[in-house]
Amino acid sequence: MRMRTRFLAAVGVSALVAGGAIPALAQGVTEQDIINDAKTPGDVVTYGLGPQAQRFSPLKTLNRDNIKGLVPAWSFSFGGEKQRGQESQALIKDGVIYVTGSYSRIYAIDSRTGEKKWEYDARLPEGILPCCDVVNRGAALYKDNVYFGTLDAKMMALNVKTGKVVWRKDIDDFKAGYSYTAAPIIVKGKIITGVSGGEFGVVGRIEARDAETGEIVWKRPVIEGHMGELNGKPSTMTGKVNESWPGDMWKFGGGATWLGGTYDPETNLVYFGTGNPGPWNSWLRPGDNKWSASRLALNPDTGEIVWGFQTTPHDGWDFDGVNEFVPFDLNKGGKTIKAGATADRNGFFYVLDRTNGKFISATPFVDKINWAKGIDENGRPIYNPENRPGDPSQAQGDEKKGKSVFSVPSFLGGKNWMPIGYSPDTKLFYVPSNEWGMDIWNEPVNYKKGAAYLGAGFTIKPVFDDHIGSLKAIDPTNGKIVWEYKNKAPLWAGVLTTAGNLVFTGTPEGFLKAFDAKTGEEVWKFQVGTGVVSSPVTWEQDGEQWVGVTAGWGGAVPLWGGEVAKSTAGINQGGSFWAFKLPKTVASR
């Protein structure tokens, strides 16, 4: 029998507790609700507080002067005996919070009282091998369904009221190394997702399904040479065969789209980041290796690529540039440019024209970057050839390692998965970043499936003695860092900004913190009892402003040891959702 494919016949049962009255006027989430989400503080129906994912709330009730009155209203435990990383951003609609948990679980909670309405635990097969913890980053809402993806690469639609399965579709075969951890997005009645997975043979793609039936509408592989699909028929090829890949290596080129995307209703484009190319050693695949480590803009109706921009051509450091692309209006030289920004794993903060992908600027957002000297006027890195891991074909005789190089940032990135935020009020981006580098070399004493294998050896090291984490406010007009908050442990949580001139984020040390959005002064913190590696949200309810965050230490950081582990030693796991509110009596003082 085959252990790693056998299903545990344990759970998958939803506990339906019909607690609380369901508002009679609840209509489900409409397309208009999704597009207007950033302007409607009474609900949060999208990942990112709006399809552009600026993570900005127009709520002003809460500010630096009254935030001392922000108090916990309730806390909800995810239960279970295993916990690990909780990276989920909650959604709130009609008095119900929808939040996902580790191990592919989802909960519906009364947003006023914290009582559970229902819970759904996906049946996970034994032996799933997620590369980087058993996280889930959030759900999507549309009409009467709530959608989320599972670690065994399935997309689920559940009824919002009952938690019962409406449909369940395979994104791909988990046995072939596929998984799913991102929050899906809904665009014009379609649910649009990427894929997770780094095994040989996994080629990243973006795909759209009919949200009501789960049937595929289009597929877009992100690596050149692969054919797309539209309405069940082949559509167009991505790029051209062998334009930027040698031999047949494009067939297995990587580029996993594991972080999900954003959508800009103004330009009708969806934006996705693509991961690193394979194999890891860049010397084995000369060329730019398109479209790995890129941002792609797609037409959501057809899946056609409208533009692509590659942040790390010929990635040799596993920078895995999947990072989110956040649309915003850039005021430069008296003009307003429809722009977008992305803080790449490679340590540079890019501003692009979001209508055509044209390069506008790129500036470092972490210190001591050494893999590239900078980004040229066309947006290409100016490489430091001596800081590219060695060419294994040049290794001589007894040389047991390839040349080891110390490269900044480390492969976990100047910024990893944790989402950035943008405030149209301060006109600043808020970027949770990490200051770390890595020793990296060819490692010949490596085996896979019992056979010799050329792997990478690496050690991650902090760049500074006193901190790794660094929350930065960046002015997109000039790339200048306006303020910085330093944190001892690596930052792994998303940010939230508000019209009350506040920026929120969490720390592995267990604090949800608030900062003055203009100055970076820390104005509030609360200890949730375990690390925070999720994205906070805020909403208005019964005339009061609420803030919510998922708590539970985990993610990729604790999977790596060495110097970095010292900064997170002793942090306990957990699994809960915390809701805070500013009581009316305090707000009116």
Partner 1 sequence: MRSSRARLILAACGLLLAARFQPEAAARPLDQVVADGTLRVAVYGDNAPFSEEAAGKPRGIDADLARAIADKLKVKLDLRVVDAGENVDGDFRLNLWRGDLAGSPLADLMLHVPTDRQLALRNDQVFFTAPYFDQEIAFAYRKGALEGFDRLDDIGDNTVAVEGASAADLMLLTAQGGRFRAGLKHFKSFDEAAKAYLAGEAPILAGTRAAIEAALFAAKAPREDNPIGTVPSQGLVKTRWEIGGAVKTDSRDLAYAVGDAITALNADGHLKAICETYGVTYTPPKGY
Catalytic residues: 318
Is 242 annotated as belonging to a binding site?
no
3-state secondary structure of 175: helix
Q: Residue 587 belongs to what H/E stretch?
A: helix 584-587
State the SS3 of 224-247: CCCEEEECCEEEEECCCCCCCCCC
C-alpha span between 381 and 362 (Å, rounded): 10
Nearer to partner 1 among residue 394 and residue 572 (C-beta): 394
Interface residues with partner 1 (CB under 8 A)?
Answer: 1-6, 8-11, 13, 79-82, 84, 103, 121, 124-131, 133-134, 175, 198, 200-201, 246-249, 251-252, 278-279, 283-284, 286, 392-395, 399, 402, 442, 444-455
Residues 6 or more apart in contact with residue 326 via CB below 8 angstroms: 52, 53, 54, 262, 340, 341, 342, 420, 421, 422, 429
Nearer CB in complex with partner 1: 80/424: 80
Per the document, the length of the chain is 589
What's the gap between Cα 51 and its chain centre? 14
81 is in an annotated binding site: no
At closest approach, how far in Å is the CB of 552 from partner 1? 14
Select 10 or 24, whichever has its Cβ closest to partner 1: 10
Q: Which pair of structure tokens corresponds to residue 441?
A: 């070399």
To partner 1, the closest distance from the beta carbon of 255 in angstroms equals 15
d(CA 507, CA 493): 7
- Residue 276 assigned to a binding site: yes
> Which CB sits closer to partner 1, 2 or 233?
2
Q: Is 268 annotated as a binding residue?
A: no
Shortest spacing between CB 201 and partner 1, in angstroms: 5
225 contacts 241 by C-beta, under 8 angstroms: yes
How far, CA to CA in Å, does 225 sit from each of 254, 282, 289, 357? 13, 19, 11, 21
Q: Where are the beta strands (DSSP E) in 488-561?
A: 496-498, 502-506, 511-516, 522-527, 537-541, 544-551
Q: How far is the CB of 296 from partner 1 (least distance, A)?
A: 24
Q: Closest Cα to residue 185, out of 174, 195, 193, 177?
A: 193
Beta-bridged to residue 457, according to DSSP, are 441
**Distance in angstroms (rounded) separating the CA atoms of residues 119 and 98:** 10
Minimum CB distance to partner 1, residue 200 (Å):
4
Smallest gap from Cβ 22 to partner 1, in A, equals: 26
277 or 379: whose CB is closer to partner 1?
Answer: 277
Q: Which residues are annotated as a binding site?
A: 87, 137, 181, 199, 276, 318, 416-417
Q: Which residues are annotated as a binding site for Ca(2+)?
A: 199, 276, 318
Q: Which residues are annotated as a binding site for pyrroloquinoline quinone?
A: 87, 137, 181, 416-417
